[in-house]
Amino acid sequence: MPSDQATWLIAVPNDGDAEGIVQELGQKLKSSTSSRSISQLGIPSFKTGTLDSLITLSEELPKQDASFTATVGKTVDTLRNLLNNDPSKLSQHILVNENSVDDYLLEWSWNESRYGTQRSLREMVDALNKEMTSIDNTMKAKLQNYNLVKGSLVQMQRKKTGNLSVRTLADVVHKEDFVLDSEYLETLLVAVPKTLAKNWNLQYERLTNMIVPRSSKSLATDDEYTLFSVVVFRRVHDEFIQKCRENKFIVRDFVYSDEEIEKARQDLDTADMTEKELWTELLRLSRTNFSEAFQILVHLKVLRLFIESVLRYGLPANYIGLAVKPDPKSAKKMFTTLQQQLSYLRRNKSTDKSESKEEFVGEYQTLMEQEFFDFVLFEVPWIVN
């Protein structure tokens, strides 16, 4: 049974009463479920080509179908991530030509201006593949560029968070907290666990020689650490850092510079602005490319419907297409109704292999013996349930 989370695209031979078939099936399905959607899907009379070409395409298209579906899915995932997985916002962007996916499928028609039916099936498949590949490559490049900028911004923002042992100190300290432009002295910043703050006050002057007495000042505090400044002679810099490590005091690598602080602020502002611009651009591109990619996917599925119909029902190549959106609660009943109404399409299967070989021979035997429904059916997975 096909998925109850997908719209079913079905093809059956046209006996000359396409409208009657659609109406009859519509009535039957309506009686089998309280919620149904069915419409006619126009399958053009494409150029059939040779049997070899049809078989080759029939074998190739499932892989392309899966690839196209994956591209559509990745585009939806990009939109979902950009919109913080907000279903209401996502539904505003999962549109095909500004219409809902359901409306597009139930009112679908072949785009003759882009994929003229005077071309061969191979040419149309190649055109669809070229367009989808272009969309996929463009999305990958734009997403990679956005993720790089977003990652850089997140890294900058993380430096402004966290405790005093790891966060940036540019917005914590001030110029007057430092001894500047001294040949011999320097101010160091030390993050001390709050449980060891008393030990720091008692020990810092004796950690090494050449510590300026009473030079330690408490500059900031959080839930875990207190940030102290201390003035030392430059010549004991390395020794002082080593002694601090031994006592679980964390010396922060920070040199006060008005220029560097201002540059860091400008870099953050620039990264934030760039991220917002790229977010808007990627959202707009994803919305457009979803619409394009979904249309390409459906056109490929209709080509598959046609090709499999020719292989299943033969010529003349005149088939009725149906788009059916099942109600998940009664999908099984709907599918049973479809099978009953279209049971006349069932092939008489023989268990005698010799009889089967008389009908289908050679290299196509395995393909034609694959399990299939009584009618040609392909699924379009629901984008948002």
Which pLDDT band, with edges at 50, 70 and 90, does 32 fall under? low
Binned at pLDDT 50, 70 and 90, residue 40 comes out as confident
**E strand spans, 15-138:** 37-41, 95-96, 99-100
Report the relative pairing of strands 37-41 and 319-325 from DSSP bridges: antiparallel
The reply to whether the predicted model has a pTM over 0.95 is no
In contact, 43 and 306? CB cutoff 8 Å: yes
What residue spans define the domains of the chain? 1-45+318-380, 63-163+257-316, 175-255
Q: For residue 36, is pLDDT > 60? A: no
The whole-number average pLDDT for the span 81-90 is 93
C-alpha to C-alpha distance for 136 and 141, rounded to whole angstroms: 9
Contact criterion met (CB below 8 Å) for 150 and 213: no
| 3-state secondary structure at position 37 | strand
Annotation: CATH topology of 1-45+318-380: Alpha-Beta Plaits (3.30.70)
pLDDT tens by residue, 325-383 = 888 888 888 888 888 888 777 754 433 444 443 444 344 444 444 446 778 899 998 87
Rounded Cα–Cα distance for residues 242 and 207 (Å): 9
Which CATH architecture describes the domain 63-163+257-316? Up-down Bundle (1.20)
CATH 3.30.70.100 given to domain 175-255: yes
Domains 63-163+257-316 and 175-255 share a fold: no
pLDDT tens-place string over residues 188-247: 999 999 999 999 999 999 999 999 999 999 999 999 999 999 999 999 999 999 999 999
Confidence of residue 282 (pLDDT cuts 50, 70, 90): very high
> What is residue 38's predicted lDDT score, i.e. its pLDDT?
82
